Structure 1
Amino acid sequence: MAMRNILNSVLKKGVVRRFNAYKVDIVNKFKYGLNAPLKYQLLYCEPSQINSYTRFNPTNLPEHLSYIPTYLVKDRTMINALKNQFIVGGDWDKMIVPINCLRSYRQTIEKLRSGRSWQEVGEFERNVSKTIALTNINRKDKEVLAENRFKKLDELIKNVEETKYLKSQFELKRNSFREMGGIEVFVGREGELIQAHGGRHRLAIARHFSLSVIPVCVSLVHEDCVKSGKFSELKKRSLKLKGRHEYAQKKQS
């Protein structure tokens, strides 16, 4: 029953996110022009372009306000802008740490290098404990979910090792919405890509196996990046890398 409720919640959340994304896109096109970034937009990049991880979380407010500085909590206008506009200024892109400081990333790399299990490197327990702390799921149900999740990750590891290729969300699910559910990134004011809260294991896998190109999902963009034209430059670079990605896909078939 608990797992069924989780599935229904995920499906409902996906529909709501699509609807909200379209609303955000319309507003931003009026404000920044027809070439404004799209929420959950697919970009292609080199894994080496992502070297930092955000310490800022604009989602699920107010439940997760502990992730962000006090002055931002008080600034409700800033919070609403981050949740509803997708393109926003401020210093959120400076709230970062090196990617190696991220425990889930670090433990995934450790597993890949040593050949140890998820349990042995501590990633299984970290995942179970964190989810129990943030939800009402009991430990037994969460362990079942975690086992399924890490089983899929093991299958992904095997596939990426063999093919040196990471599929986009559209390649995985034809009814996917843009790149929602992919490796999540924020785009800072200089066009830098910052690892966000989704796809940390996949990024570690891609970097470990030295993939040349990966698809990523853009979930937040700095306003200065759009106004300066740096996001347009990022899209041009992405288009070139897309060709490399498609070439790698053809080599598989």
Structure 2
Amino acid sequence: MFDAGGLYGLISSTRAYLTHHPALVRSLIFARHTYYRCLKGYNALADPFELIEIDPNNITMANREIDKYLASGAIRGGNWDRQTQPYERSLKYRSVEQRFCHEKEWEETDIHDELCRRIETEGEADGCYSISDLERRYERIDQLYKSIKEHGYDPSQNYDGADTRIETSLDQICVSIGRDGELIFCGGGNHRFSIAKILDLDAIPVRVVVRHRKWQRKREKIANGAHEIDATVHPDFQDIISQSYP
């Protein structure tokens, strides 16, 4: 029989696997793009699976309310791009900084006790179901840091042991783009992203999940030949420059 935590962990894992299954995500993206093209008249729709190169230091804010899987390819209005928090205040970033900049043991970092508590009470935290799982995860993150420091960041590598609940090629560092082109972290690869910032990497590839409706209008203008917007100044315009739109 499962205890309460073990049962919760099983339910959480099953739900995450089903709702983030690649087939479901791809179906949602196809439906969205069909709607945007046919009913909204958008032509400059970006490929939600394509990665763009960005300077990690240009991402300072985060919005963790965006589902990095189920929201893929969405174009949204509203103020979600203003409802953000400083990324470097996050628990994971602080803990990575404590580990690799201040040479603390993982057990001394801010996040350790919180993850242990969740494993004990909920049966799962960050894809870990026991303290032993958590210790192995930290060993992988140490290896991740060493690999990125010595060889740079490669998005094709499964560095830190992808969450076993979610087996999908969509599991990349994810951003969304606000109305003025601001890059907003929205989940995926927290440790990879934090390490990239700490190591001051010049560029990393990221996957764009959501674009603000006002930003998408700028993409449409460029695709339609508008000259008042400099398409070379933002990495999200590069696909438009390289393609021809009707």
Deviations 1:203-233 (A, max 9, x none): 1100111211101121111010010239974
Structure-1 separation of matches of 2:49 and 2:115 = 25
| Secondary structure at 1:212 match in 2 | coil
Q: Specify which structure has the higher proportion of helix.
A: 1
CA distance in 1 between partners of 2:221 and 2:62 (Å): 19
Q: What is the root-mean-square deviation in Å for CA atoms of aligned residues?
A: 3.5
**Kept after mapping to 2: 8 A contact 1:191/1:225:** yes
Q: Deviation of residue 146 (structure 1)?
A: 2.3
- Partner of 1:33: helix, strand, or coil? coil
Deviation string for 1:128-173 (max 9, x for gaps)?
434666x5549x924233233222211110101112x11124x559
Larger radius of gyration: 2
Q: Map 1:25-104 to 2 at 5 A.
A: 25-30=33-38, 31-54=40-63, 57-59=65-67, 83=71, 86-104=74-92
2:25 maps to amino acid:
R
Please give the TM-score of this superposition, normalised by the length of structure 1: 0.68
Give the superposition deviation at 1:190: 0.7
Structure 1 residue aligned with 2:175: 185
CA change 1:108–1:172 in 2 (3 A) is closer
Give how far 1:14 is off: 2.2
C-alpha displacement of 1:37 = 2.5
- C-alpha separation in 2, matches of 1:106 and 1:27: 41
In the alignment of these two chains, the number of paired residues is 211
| Amino acid of the structure 2 residue aligned with 1:37 | A
Give SS of 1:185's match: strand
2-structure distance, mates of 1:37, 1:167:
22
Match of 1:20 among 20, 24, 28: 28
Q: Which amino acid aligns with 2:32?
A: V
SS at match of 1:229: helix
Q: Which runs of 5+ in 2 are unaligned?
A: 160-166, 223-230, 240-246
State the alpha-carbon separation in 2 of the partners of residues 215 and 84 from structure 1.
16
TM-score for the superposition, normalised by structure 2 = 0.70
In 2, the alpha carbon distance for the partners of 1:100 and 1:42 equals: 23
Q: Distance in 2 between matches of 1:46 and 1:184?
A: 13
What amino acid does structure 2 have at the position aligned with 1:148?
A: R
Distance 2:130 2:36 in 1: 39
Q: How far off its partner does 1:83 sit?
A: 5.0
Query: Deviation of residue 6 (structure 1)?
Result: 7.1
Unaligned runs of 5+ in 1: 61-81, 240-253
Cα distance in 1, alignment partners of residues 35 and 180 from structure 2: 23
Are 1:167 and 2:166 counterparts?
A: no
Q: Deviations over 1:168-187 (max 9, x none)?
A: 24x559xx866x11111111
SS in structure 1 of the partner of residue 113 of structure 2: helix
Counterpart for residue 225 of structure 1: 215
What percent identity do the matched residue pairs reach? 20
Q: CA deviation at 1:11?
A: 4.8
CA distance in 2, matches of 1:84, 1:195: 14
Establish whether residue 206 from structure 1 lines up as the match of residue 206 from structure 2: no
Q: Which whole-Å CA distance do the structure 2 matches of 1:229 and 1:203 have between them?
A: 26
